[in-house]
Structure 1
C-alpha cells in the first residue's frame, strides 16, 4: 500500500466520522480528504459534488474514494421547508417545473428532490456507481461505499455492494 496515497471521503454532515473512517480504512489523517454534504449522495453525474470529487482526484492525486452514509439517517431540512405555509406557492411552481420542463427530473417532485427518495444504502450504491462509471474518473481510482451504524455508543461499518450496471448515464442518453 502506498503510504502517501490520498483517500477521498464523501460523507454526510455528521461530526466524529473521521476517526472511525481513519481506523477502518487504515488511512493516516494527513492523507484524508473529506467532502461533506447533506446525505452524502450524488444525484447527477454533472452536479457540483461530482465536480469537487473529480477536481480532488486530479489535484490531490486521489487513488481511492469512499462514499460514506449513516445508517437510516435522513435530513429533515426539506421537511421543514415544505411545511412552511409561505413556501406552498413556490413549491407548487417548482413541482410543475420538475414534472414538465426538466427531463432529468421527469416524474419527480420538489419534495423528492429536496429530501431524497432513497434509503441510505440505495443512495450510496447509486453514488458509487456514478463515480465509478464517470468518464472523467480514471479507471485506477477505487470507489467503495460504506455505511456507519451508531448503535449503543459503538460504531460499525458495513461495505455497500456496487450496482451491477453498464453505465451511470440517464436512460434517455443511452438510446
Structure 2
C-alpha cells in the first residue's frame, strides 16, 4: 500500500470472526483504512451480482486502491455438507445437477455438491479474476487473493494467482 492516508483497502472475506487483526498485521493496513465485505465463501459468483456491485461502490465512494479476496484454509464448519444431507432436498438437488451438467452456469463445480463444497483456492482465484477483468474496475486497483491458514494455531497468508491469460471463463446458460 502506498503512503496516501486517504486510500482504502477492501477485504472480501468469509463470514468468520477474528480475521481483521490478522489481515491488518499481514497486509500492514491500519484499521482506519480497512473496509470489509463479508459473504459465505468470500466468492463472487456473478460479475454483475450484489457483491460485485458493493465492490464497485466501495472503489469509487471510498477511494479503494487495493482489494484482497480472502479465504480460509480447512474451514471447520461446512454448511454445504449439512445442506446435502437433508433428505427433503434430494429431488431438488437432482434437478439442479441436471441443470449444472446441461446448462453450465457460472459455478466452478459440475454438480450442486461440488458447488456447495468449492475449493477455497479455486473460489478465490475465480473471484480475483472477475474483479480484475470487470469493465467498471479501474486498472489502477490492485486485486489479490489471499488464503489464511490457521492450522495448529498459526496464521500465514499465501497469495493466490489470478487465472492465467487466455483462460476462458465458464460457459453461460443463454436460454
Same fold? TM cut 0.5? yes
Which shifted more, 144-153 or 100-109? 100-109
Distance in structure 2 (CA, Å) of the matches to 1:142 and 1:83: 40
User: Which SS does the other structure have where 1:44 is aligned?
Assistant: coil
RMSD: 2.5
- The answer to whether residue 64 in structure 2 is matched with residue 97 in structure 1 is no
Distance in structure 2 (CA, Å) of the matches to 1:85 and 1:44: 29
Q: 2:12: which partner in 1?
A: 10
Q: 1:145: which partner in 2?
A: 145
Cα deviation, residue 111, structure 1: 2.0
CA deviation string 1:6-64 (max 9, x = no partner):
11001111111101111122212121111111211223322222222112112212111
In structure 2, the gaps of 5 or more residues are none
In structure 1, the gaps of 5 or more residues are none
TM-score (norm 2): 0.84
1:10, 1:66 within 8 Å by CA — same for their partners in 2?
Answer: yes
Distance in structure 1 (CA, Å) of the matches to 2:153 and 2:108: 42
Distance in structure 2 (CA, Å) of the matches to 1:76 and 1:153: 20
Cα deviation, residue 166, structure 1: 4.4
Q: 2:124: which partner in 1?
A: 124
2:8, 2:62 within 8 Å by CA — same for their partners in 1?
Answer: yes
TM-score (norm 1): 0.84
Distance in structure 1 (CA, Å) of the matches to 2:108 and 2:25: 41
